[in-house]
Amino acid sequence: MSTSMTPLSQRPLDARRGKQTNTRCRTHRPVRAASYRPRAPSAAGAARATTTAKPDSAAQLKASERAAGSSGCPRGGSWRVHKFGGTCVGSPERILAAADLVRQQLVEDKPGQNRVLMVVSAMGTDPKTGVKTTDALLKAVELASKQDPASSDALEEVRQKHIQSATELLGPGEALDTFLKVLDRDCEDLNAMLRAIRISGSATDAFSDFVVGHGELWSAQMMCAALRMKGAKALWMDARDVLVVVPTSDNNSVDIKYRLSNENLDKWFDQHGVEEDTIIVATGFVARDPSGTPTTLKRNGSDYSATIMGALLLAGSITIWTDVNGVYSADPRKVSEAVSLVQLSYHEAWELSYFGANVLHPRTTLPAMKYNIPVIIRNFFDLDNPGTQISNFQTEEMDCRKAGQAAVKGFATIDDVAVISVEGTGMVGVPGTASAIFSTLRDANVNVVMISQASSEHSVCFCVKGADAPIAKQALAKKFESALASGRISKVEVIPDCTILAAVGQGMCARRGVSETLFSALANAGINIKAIAQGSSEYNITIVIDSADSVRALRAVHSRFYLSETPLAVGVVGPGLIGQTLLKQFEEQRNVLREEYNIDLRVLGIASTARMVLSDTGIDLERWSEEMDSRGEDADMQKFTRHVHASHVPNAVIIDCTASEVVSDYYAKWMEDGIHVVTPNKKLNSGPLARYKAVKELQKKSYTHFFYEGTVGAGLPIIATLKGLRETGDKVNKVEGIFSGTLSYLFNTMKPGMSFSEAVADAKSNGYTEPDPRDDLAGMDVARKVVILARECGLDLELSDIPVESLVPEPLRNVEDVDEFMAKLPEYDTDMEAKMSEASARGECLRYIGTVDVANRCGRVELQSFPASHPFTQLTGSDNIISFTTARYKAQPLIVRGPGAGAEVTAAGVFSDLLRLAAHLGAPS
């Protein structure tokens, strides 16, 4: 080792900071001790911790009385316990940062509130070496039990990691020499232990615990040495000298022996003569059993050490320093908009952790709960974040956006479970059936995760881990063999590939409508529920769903409680004139939708023929075109679909603003995947009948919606009116009208003396026609609308069944050049002039009409003449007009009239369909 290097602890803080990284947190920032302001417990909290805590034995009472000052350990709310996880002490820089953080608190605390105990884990993954101490020690034990000499190599990796870290941390001198002597002596002992394990070919729990616990011993000694070199008074505590534990009945955890541990704590303080401002650095994870044999605290052992120490000290607070910003409302890996919760009750923390949330293990909170000590989970790499406080204290702060939503704090899931159902009429009213079921599972060593039973007692269903399902079924089949044979029990059924979704919140018991909100969110997302369970405490509602719906369900319920009542993930295909206008309308109305209608509309993808732009959280609609240019990618409809569907927003909808046959071919697949479709594109509804019927049948059988109001009347409510008439029992006899804004404008503006070609040129110059006016004059657009309406009326018509009177002179239909067409069109004005003269002689006007003759089951598109008093002749500009003749509206047809063309009104019609979709989510399509 170099003797000229400056120890890290003596370098300026900025010089030793280094880049702090962690695979679990992408936005870690350097720890700045000076910026740390610990959140002190409230006065009520301190009072409860110091005055209302009830010792559980005479020995504890005696110990607590010593807080006034005789011998032993002083106890009370002046103690602050800080636990630093392996990530927080994974490198010399981080050890120093933790030391500075705690020293800063001592400086800032008021007199009498300056007692600190640190609990440290073994060094986690070092960005430089990549070695994680506990994993490496476990690997050494595993290799030794396999009689593999490489176990010594694994231990040597750990030794070198600590030599390198201590050298950088402490620099040459007595402190380093002392630590390295201890390290070498310990490693000699561990090598001897590994040799013994290799010889026997197996490792007992006691051997394994002895080896693995050394990581905490070394990190505690390094932390203590670093504090001393920084000028602080510090002592390190081997928790095995204090904590006495016994294994629980399932051997998965341990129970603390408070009397013995309190006595040991007093002895430790007496032996070491601890002064008031001394920082105590205790080892996490390790303890002893009553016989004195070293052991560990099992799962989440270091966190458990911290809460036990807090309970023994009757501390004012316990802070768990980790690499996340507290407890989240949902798994942020699955729900990108999950938020860090400000506060949880102990019960809420229990429930969330049971269902797999990244919270303290339920057993870990017991010591703190016993004495009402708040546990604060903080991010070591984000000191500005207040983290999450877990306590029994109530707060008026609301974690949810709305006060009415604060009943639910968070959501969690357990994946890969199976539902087992035991059913039979012979179970009704028979005592002991449930006992027989669950005792059988206990004997088979199968853990039950959730139980649900109908009040009829006809069936009992419960959830187990997916891997345990075959064992459970076999054990139950054997237990009830005679009952199954006789028919008293009809079946033992296993439903695999399920997920448990839990909604947790202590406020649910006092809030009406939480279950309804939860279930409606799932229904709106098209998610089926297999089983439900809720305890009388109402701290959680548990739901079983298909594993395939796990992420979507989690996003759906989280969005409903934390975002808005109706979140929509929108993909727009075709940012042409209508698409651009629609996006502009979205941007203008987005805040209104959120604030007044509780609709959270997010455009997650925009795709043109060649390019597309995607976003996980929502595209900036003021800059979408720039984003398409700057970070767009080649259009890929399959990738586009996956992105919109897989977003954290549960209700996915794709809006097709194209006139493309190719895009309309995707509708069926989108709907099969649960994606709603909104479109003004006429191609599917007027295309091949079989394809149309397939999509409509799919729509009927699902909760996936298909809205297409814009296909006929742009923004006019033509489809909605027709559906309303039929759904209310009216009989539609005829639907006819002027469906083309272009042709409406053409005949509304043809005044005496104006030729047909002049009228067409005028319409084209004013933007009322397609670039090639023949697309309008041919009448096929009107024919498609007639087919759409005919099918809505129940007629099975193809586009080829509709006779169409084209206004394009036959000789000009195949002219390739538009300009040539326009130049030659005047040559055929005489034909139209003749028709107009004939109509005028009768006092009538020409209009281009589409008709659905329901009674005769046919349709047609043709030029007709009407009296000057007829509604069809009263139009101006490009307005459309549609007449519905029905059994109820026979003498006086129902008329719908208004603008039927233009990007603004068409986009508005599509927008209206989207809002209609939001209102129909969860209802059968």
Residues known to be catalytic: 785
Q: Tokens 């629609």 — which residue?
A: 582
SS3 annotation, 159-223:
HHHHHHHHHHHHCCCHHHHHHHHHHHHHHHHHHHHHHHHHHHCCCCHHHHHHHHCHHHHHHHHHH
Angstrom distance (rounded) from CA 679 to CA 573 = 10
Is residue 227 helix, strand or coil? Answer: helix
Q: Tokens 């729900």 — which residue?
A: 335
List of E strands, 598-744: 599-607, 611-614, 633-634, 651-656, 676-678, 706-707, 732-738
Separation in Å, CA 878 to CA 590, 713, 731, 851: 30, 12, 30, 19
Contact (CB, 8 A) for 648 and 335: yes
Angstrom distance (rounded) from CA 7 to CA 17 = 13
Q: Which residues contact 137 (CB under 8 A, 6 or more apart)?
A: 122, 154, 155, 158, 211, 212, 214, 215
Helix (H) or strand (E) holding 807: none
Q: What are phi and psi of 144, to 5 degrees?
A: -65, -40
Angstrom distance (rounded) from CA 878 to CA 491 = 68
Helix, strand, coil fractions of the chain, as percent rounded to 5 = 45, 20, 35
Q: Which residues contact 731 (CB under 8 A, 6 or more apart)?
A: 886, 887
Neighbour-count burial for 773-785, b at 16+ CB within 10 Å, e otherwise: bbebbbbbbbbbb
Q: Tokens 């281009």 — which residue?
A: 848
Angstrom distance (rounded) from CA 334 to CA 501 = 13
Contact (CB, 8 A) for 508 and 409: no
Closest C-alpha among 847, 901, 852 to residue 875: 847
Burial class (CB in 10 A: 0-12, 13-18, 19+), 9: buried
- DSSP letter (8 states) at residue 616: S
Closest C-alpha among 327, 376, 378 to residue 80: 376
Angstrom distance (rounded) from CA 380 to CA 281 = 17
